[in-house]
Amino acid sequence: MIDVLFVVDDKTDVPAVLNKTSAMFSVTRVLATALEPGHVAGARVIVVHAALRSVDEVARIEDACDEARRRDDCIYVAKDTDRAGIVQAESVGIGRVVASHQPVEDVLAAIQGILNRELAHSLKDQPAQVVQAIESTGMLFRQVASAMRDDAPLPLRLLSASSQNIGAAIESVGLVEWINAVEMHHSQTCRHILMVAGYADAFARNLGLSANDTLVFTQASLLHDVGKLFIPISILEKAGPLTDQERQAIMMHPLRGAKALRRGGRAHPLVVEAARSHHEYLDGSGYPDRLTDERISPLVRMLTIVDIYSALREERAYKAAMTPRLAITEMAGMKGKLDPRLFAAFRDMVLNPVFGSQRSSRDAEAVSADDCLVNGLHPLDRATPVRNVARRATG
């Protein structure tokens, strides 16, 4: 399913709004004269950007929306003086009207409003902590995107709150429930970030990291792909094979993300480093800097493991999701690229049948543990042992 269907006529001049919308959402467009109910059924939001002067066009919009019962999900973009179009839109039951002279952001806000409503509906049976964590992370991403557009400071307080909310949600429902809830999110990019953050929190918990280490690691996981905000969704979520140019555009996201975070100021240096280096491999075959061994910090090594595992476990437009065992087998084949000790600890965690369903608060011994990641120390080189996950099962 795509996010937004633009219904246009042959006189519609839409590049500005279409370009901005397709940078944030998956988008397709169809001529009003060719609109079928299947188009409407396959989209979450319908933006009608046509003059609605032809009887045939109006009838097609009316029929398609009627059949799919989707009028609440429609937005009409009216020309400045298009009184007749507004009346026509209202007569077919399209309640939201945005004048085309208004900023494109108004159209984006109307689209986001409908998507938020849909998300809230799909989360209605989830525990409050889960809803709060998913909603605060969604808000974080909208604010980070607009901060980057406007060269404004990053919303660091919201970043901390989102990290803590994710930790609280996983404490409350366990990792498996968290992942199930996250899978309901309409945006592939948000799903990925929320999953990586969930696995990151669980991994930190499993290693018995300090509260400070856990917070920085979760923040790094939330912002690791922030450079993708500069890449159109049409490329990021493309179902078919990428062109060389598109692949190169995607491979720029670590540099663009780190640069934006540095410019936004005040992000923890490890968060900036994680955005830049999470695609580096110990054998020097990664990008963008082809770093090797000791030049890759323990936090980045942990993030790379969590990021790859999450990507393998996710369903994408171009691939099915792998089972945990298959994903781990695939990663075990990446010889020399991942930190072997951290990978072994992560493997034991995700393949432990009990771990994903446990609901428990952080142990006092972990809360008071010494910081290691923020000091560049390997978590497995300190005295505190990795927790025995089976011992902590609570069901």
Supply the residues annotated as catalytic: 228
Least Å distance between CB 278 and Fe ion? 6
Work out whether 57 is an interface residue with Fe ion (CB under 5 A): no
Other C-beta atoms lying within 10 Å of the C-beta of residue 35: 24
Looking at beta carbons only, is 85 or 198 nearer to Fe ion?
198
Least Å distance between CB 40 and Fe ion? 32
Q: How many chain residues touch Fe ion (CB under 5 A)?
A: 2
Looking at beta carbons only, is 77 or 195 nearer to Fe ion?
195
Least Å distance between CB 351 and Fe ion? 22
Work out the burial of residue 188: count CB atoms within 10 Å of its CB; fewer than 13 is exposed, 13-18 middle, 19 or more buried: middle
Least Å distance between CB 376 and Fe ion? 22
Looking at beta carbons only, is 291 or 366 nearer to Fe ion?
291
Looking at beta carbons only, is 142 or 316 nearer to Fe ion?
316
Looking at beta carbons only, is 177 or 225 nearer to Fe ion?
225
One character per residue 114-153, x = contact with Fe ion (rule: CB under 5 A): ----------------------------------------
Looking at beta carbons only, is 50 or 200 nearer to Fe ion?
200
Work out whether 82 is an interface residue with Fe ion (CB under 5 A): no
Buried b (16+ CB within 10 A) or exposed e, 337-361: bbbeebbebbbebbeeeebbebeee
Work out whether 307 is an interface residue with Fe ion (CB under 5 A): yes
Distances (CA, A) of 248 to 9, 42, 116, 310: 34, 30, 32, 22
Least Å distance between CB 274 and Fe ion? 10
Binders of Fe ion in range 180-239 (CB under 5 A): 225
Other C-beta atoms lying within 10 Å of the C-beta of residue 87: 11
Candidates 82-90, 136-144, 302-310, 360-368; binding stretch for Fe ion (CB under 5 A): 302-310
The amino acid sitting at 66 is: D
**Pick from 253, 254, 221, 260: nearest CA to 236:** 253
- Give the whole-angstrom CA distance, residue 296 versus residue 277: 8
Least Å distance between CB 310 and Fe ion? 7
Residues lying near Fe ion in the complex (CB under 5 A) are found at 225, 307
